[in-house]
Amino acid sequence: MTEEQFAQFGLTFGVGGFMLYMLFIIYSLARESKAGKFGTFVLFLVLAFGMIGFIAKQVLIWLMTP
């Protein structure tokens, strides 16, 4: 395994795991604040919006590589 492959693996799974942890934190925040269904939806939409860009970038890279 080269350094580049190790870095890519760490970026993909390390950041992916961190994103799952952030989703747990958002869920915990919504539950503790008793946000309701719409409030929980808004929290996930707004706070998790940046994660969508990271995921889209990874999918585009996967689709464009030969």
- Does residue 49 carry a pLDDT above 90? no
Kindly report the average pLDDT of the chain as a whole number.
Answer: 88
Provide the pLDDT confidence category of residue 52 given band limits of 50, 70 and 90: confident
Per-residue pLDDT, averaged over 7-28, amounts to 89
> CA 44, CA 51: separation in Å to the nearest integer?
10
Residue-number span of the structural domain to which 46 is assigned: 3-64
Burial (CB < 10 A; 0-12, 13-18, 19+), residue 28, is exposed
State if pTM tops 0.95: no
Count of domains forming the chain: 1
What is residue 8's predicted lDDT score, i.e. its pLDDT? 85
